[in-house]
Amino acid sequence: MKRIALCILALSFAWAYVQCTRAQESKTLDDFKREAVVEVDKSQKLIQEMVDSIFSFAELGFQEYETSKYLTGILEKNGFKVERNVADIPTAWVASYGSGKPVIGFITDIDCIPRASQKPGVAYHDPIIQNAPGHGEGHNSGQAVNVAAAIVLKQLMEKYKLPGTLKLYPGVAEELVATKAFFVRAGLFKDVDIMLGAHVGNDFETSWGAARTQQRPGLRAIFVSLRQGGNRLAARIRTTAGGHTVS
């Protein structure tokens, strides 16, 4: 009886594996997108909390200690491994999950600007503290977008056993044009296949590619196509920059 039970159990696991594999193979990119949107919508409370919390910290460049502590705490709680003090910058860090290719990076700024203190939800100048620093350029919102997106993507990777690596970076002291060059010099981007940056705009829309006001040649569009086959995730990235196409 024990042998029969073990055989039945083994067959049950094998059947479940086959069904899972078939379901995985039948999913399209649009299916993954729809599932991701549903999961992101479930994160509305966390996203709003991140936006408000980072707004309340309002830390100037190289002083983003509470902001970094808060964000890395959320990421570690959700299964990301955090390396701190990268590139010899005390408030810089890299949060990673997964292994192998593709390596997808997320970056967005975390510093605020001087004399921009502002009461939230007020459409005219009304500082919380006169002449104090504040998030006058929306850097409190970018990490909420990136962190929520990375957490959802991690969940899908775990659920469907998709290989790949996620890496999140903070734009430390962006207003001082200070750190991204040091990140490059420290080799933090050398294995990244694509970097996704986020920045708030001045209207209610979502766009991608180069800013419409940018006149100089540069990155115009990025097309990412993910095709899943078996246990492998293939990424094809086509970038159009300055009139040249690189596949």
Let me know if residue 179 belongs to a domain: yes
Instruction: Tell me: pLDDT of 5 over 50.
Output: no
Span 15-65, pLDDT tens digits: 333 344 444 567 898 999 999 999 999 999 999 999 999 999 999 999 999
Span 177-228, pLDDT tens digits: 879 999 999 999 999 999 999 888 877 777 776 655 554 433 333 333 333 3
73: domain CATH number is: 3.40.630.10
User: Half-sphere exposure of residue 175, counting CA atoms within 13 Å on the CB side?
Assistant: 19
Q: CA 159, CA 138: separation in Å to the nearest integer?
A: 33
Let me know if residue 95 belongs to a domain: yes
DSSP 3-state assignment of 142? Answer: helix
Let me know if residue 172 belongs to a domain: yes
- C-beta of residue 242 within 8 angstroms of C-beta of residue 216: no
Let me know if residue 86 belongs to a domain: yes
Query: For the chain, how many structural domains are there in total?
Result: 1
Let me know if residue 183 belongs to a domain: yes
Q: Which of 2-6, 87-91, 99-103, 193-197 has the lowest mean pLDDT?
A: 2-6
pLDDT of residue 18: 38
Let me know if residue 58 belongs to a domain: yes
Let me know if residue 215 belongs to a domain: no
Positive/negative CA dihedral, 141, 145, 148, 151:
negative
Let me know if residue 187 belongs to a domain: yes
* pTM for the whole structure: 0.76
Residue 112 belongs to domain spanning = 27-206
